[in-house]
A and B are shown apart, each in its own frame.
Chain A
Amino acid sequence: MTAETMSIFSPKVAARFDALVEKYPVRRSALVPMLLYAQDEIGYLSDAVIAEVAQRIGITELDVRNVATYYSMLRFKPAGKYNVQVCTNISCMLRGAYDVFEKFQEELGIGHKGVTSDGVFSLEEVECIGACCWAPAIQVNYDFHDDLTPESVSGILAQYRQKSEGQNNA
């Protein structure tokens, strides 16, 4: 991609993409990592993201969508500022993950894949996040919270709400 081409990504991510597409024997191998980085920066895979990724790799937008829609971690609508991912796979389930998940739904007033009206939180039921030793566990963006009970839910949410307000006031 030439320097003068407009990119929707930050210079840092754009530079990373420039390197990524050259890294593999076949350009389209860079597709999945690019989508993950793009989602981290933009928040979700918007039409503009898909168009630019397709153009950078030299495949059609349909090709990008074919791959992207396969993966449940890639999303096409904005998530909340803090995306709460509750694991309900076997270890967590046996240790009460569904109670935790229900508590989150109650507290936030949203269901699976929902986003709160203020856009601060979103909630997802996800497959194993690799924290079985400390089940039940959740992941909020890239942070883990483990060994939970329904009682710990309010505390976690308060912590992030505070963080969000702090950032807004700053």
Chain B
Amino acid sequence: MADVTFTVDGKKLTAPAGTLLIEACRKAGIEIPAFCYYPGLSLQAACRMCVVRQEKVPKLQTACTTTVAEGQVFTTDSPEIAQARKATIELLLGNHPLDCPVCDAGGECELQDMTFKYGAGESLMVDAKRHREEQQWSPAVFYDRPRCILCYRCTRVCGEGMDVWALGVQNRGVTSVISPDGGDQLDCEQCGMCIDICPVGALTSGSYRYKTRPWEMNHVSTVCTHCADGCKVTLGIRQSTNGAEIIRADNRDKSGINGDFLCAKGRFGFDFVENPERLTAPLVRNHEGKLEPTTWEHAFRVAGAKLKEIRDTRGGAAIGVIGSNRTTNEENYLLQKFARTVLRTSNIDHERTTDYVSFARAMAGHPGKSASLRDISAAPAILLIGGDPTAEHPLLAWTIRTNVRLNRARLYVANETQIKLERQAKAALRLPAGGYASLTKFLSRTDSKINDPAFRDALLAEENLVVIFGAEFRGSGVDELVNWGLSRPNVRFAYLGDYSNSRGAADMGLLPDRLPGYVPVSTHDAFADEYPGMPHTIGLNQPQMLSSAAGGSLQALLIIGANPLEIDTFDPASLKGKFVVVTDMFLTQTAAVADVVFPAASLYEKTGTVTNTYGDIQLVRKAADTPGIKPDFEILVKLAASMDTNVKSLVPFGKTGVKVDLGQSRGAQMGEADRHAIWLTAQGLEPRVSPFDPLAILDEIERLVPSYKLDRVNLFGGNDIHTEPGFVPVSALTSSGPDVVRPSHNGLFTSGTLGRYSKGIADLQRHQAEVKQEAVAG
């Protein structure tokens, strides 16, 4: 809409006509307090805190519902307004207990702040305050009615934001209460959004309540380790007797791709870090055949000597390497470089939950066609094929819902089963079982099996479309769908995988036939200067490695943060006599059969970058620490050193390392490294980069993977940076075979092997099962 000019406190402001006054003021740096107003949610005008004086209007107006128009004149700060706000707070405090010293919200409470600002600390009320006992609605959500100020933020975010509608308001006036849908229990997605959005301490979190105060924690913003959406999460950290402990996870830093959002796993699923089953010392199998705690030095010596012996006597092809879906890009890159140049094997793979290789191949040579999560949040039209984002990609579901609600985006859903997001859909197409294969043909008007011309006509009328699909499409299926989209203008794609860095694992070349950036391993000159002596044969994939280890020629397995034995129908006893090295946080089924186990750090205990399934790269920051563990990066470097490898050839570091980049290419930091170098030389010092600093290898990734052109300033500032899946135009391609891809279908309360070690997630899962059972029993 056209811009209008209006006056606030004597200042001329300009905003599009129809903008809410409160938003226009906030953008101009004029603070208007509000409890019930929340950006993006429907208007409530219940709290009366945002009252302002509008010229020629007899009564004070609520800024949250006043839209700006040409020539209006407002006053937002005057004795009259301060008095009105003070009176409002006084009424709210009529029943609100003054238990701030023990309240979870104390220190970050909006009511507390406003009381300090407007000075309504003294009350004229003489009646006793109404008291109600605190209620526990689920393992995650507690409700303390006396503290509630009835702003309705929770009911709105639950209904409009999450489309769950599990919270309501019952009774009226002073007896009103927020009530959950299951009587005295919450039957919902347990996202905890209501807790986060509560301006006071009425809704508190089961995992955080009464543990600490907000100012006693350090707040580290990093990336969630669970699904592939890559929510930015702020971890509240407190010093503990054995390092640093994570107390809570929330979205205090609302700058990320997830904005306000976190799901149950992100918010409550961090406690695996503190699990007592956590490995804290390396284990080596002794001559009795039992795993025995030992020193790091001994474990490295055993693992390094044996791997070296096998490589030198049987060749690198006798060693297999399985990587992780949750380790950082730097670790994944280092792992494949270690496998190819130190172990000299092409047998490297990871648990593939989707077929990123085919996606990268289909998208190759078509820059600007991949959709970031931010693109999805603003897309005018979205085609969602298959999957159930509500359970498997909670942030994607939130983003789509928000886009539909706020921007009236048109959502088209094509699915074999009914999914919750159909409630937001403009049109839904029910596919017959196995119908994804014929969907592309239907869209290109060459198939008659699917008969819904209205759906197709509406979709084809869209001029700007984002197509979101997942592992239902593999191999040539991906090509066909992408080619259909590329034949039309303004179609972009997002391809869904399952874990926090599944995309990064594929991008970094944890694949038997692909180098970083999806460069085919068989290309003879590829990486020749970088990886001297690298094998150019195509290696074994994960199922092949396991069966070869069980019967064939594979003599050793190096498994980093993966649990392939859980997923495979595989007899662990068949690995007898093979040398297995595992790094993991827990003694998983795979670690239990290993000869050497290294205790590894979780994603919350290391630094690096991860790439979400949309190709958005974000910085992971070390938040917690557990004694006795090491990040996989450091383990790999030390393992390489224990095999008598020159570590400098693996990780660029030190002044004489030819490949080291000390910052010359870092944009805004340009010249800084030179200045540092001059100063260091003058002091008789040498610039050094630690070989254990994962960011030392980021420069090398940037140089070798064309799509990882990273804007360092933004990356280190905590912003997401979009990458294209890869521009390697390749015609001849080896198909990885559809059997290699196994989607995990993790839901709201499961997260692979890792999820089993989170009590928070397990409790929520049990609670939801019980509530459902009660509902069935009536």
Contact = CB atoms under 8 A, between A and B. Distances in A.
A69 B170 contact: yes
Contacts of B165: 60, 62-63
Interface string B154-167: 00000000000111
Nearest to B177: A69
Interface in B219-243: none
B179 interface: yes
Nearest to A72: B172
Interface string B179-200: 1110000000000000000000
Contacts of A66: 168-170, 179
Nearest to B172: A70
Interface string B575-609: 00000000000000000000000000000000000
A62 B166 contact: yes
A61 interface: yes
Contacts of A95: none
A70 to B, nearest CB: 5
B144 to A, nearest CB: 20
B569 interface: no
A61 B166 CA distance: 10
Q: Which of B165, B168, B171 has the most CB of A within 10 A?
A: B168
Interface in A116-159: none
Contacts of A69: 170-172
A138 to B, nearest CB: 24
Contacts of B180: 62
Contacts of A63: 165, 168
A59 B261 CA distance: 26
B179 A70 contact: no
A125 to B, nearest CB: 16
Interface in A61-94: 61-63, 65-66, 69-70
Interface in A38-70: 60-63, 65-66, 69-70
Interface residues of B, number: 11
A46 B100 CA distance: 40
A65 B178 CA distance: 11
Contacts of B172: 69-70
A69 B175 CA distance: 10
B171 A62 contact: no
Nearest to B155: A66
A99 B171 CA distance: 29
Nearest to A68: B170
B699 to A, nearest CB: 55
A69 B173 CA distance: 11
A70 B181 contact: no
Interface in B122-181: 165-172, 179-181
A66 B159 CA distance: 14
Contacts of A70: 170-172
Contacts of B167: 62
Contacts of A61: 181
B538 to A, nearest CB: 55
Interface in B256-311: none
A137 B559 CA distance: 85
Contacts of A65: 168, 170, 179
Nearest to B180: A62
A86 to B, nearest CB: 21
A65 B171 CA distance: 9
Nearest to A70: B172
B171 A60 contact: no
Nearest to B175: A69
Contacts of A60: 165, 181
A160 to B, nearest CB: 31
A111 B280 CA distance: 67
A63 B159 CA distance: 11
Interface of B: 165-172, 179-181
6 contacts: A60-B181, A62-B166, A62-B167, A63-B165, A69-B171, A70-B172
Interface of A: 60-63, 65-66, 69-70
Given A62-B165, A62-B168, A70-B170, 9 more contacts: A60-B165, A62-B166, A62-B179, A62-B180, A62-B181, A63-B165, A66-B169, A66-B179, A69-B170
The 8 closest A-B pairs by CB, nearest first: A66-B168, A69-B170, A62-B181, A62-B168, A70-B172, A69-B171, A66-B170, A65-B170
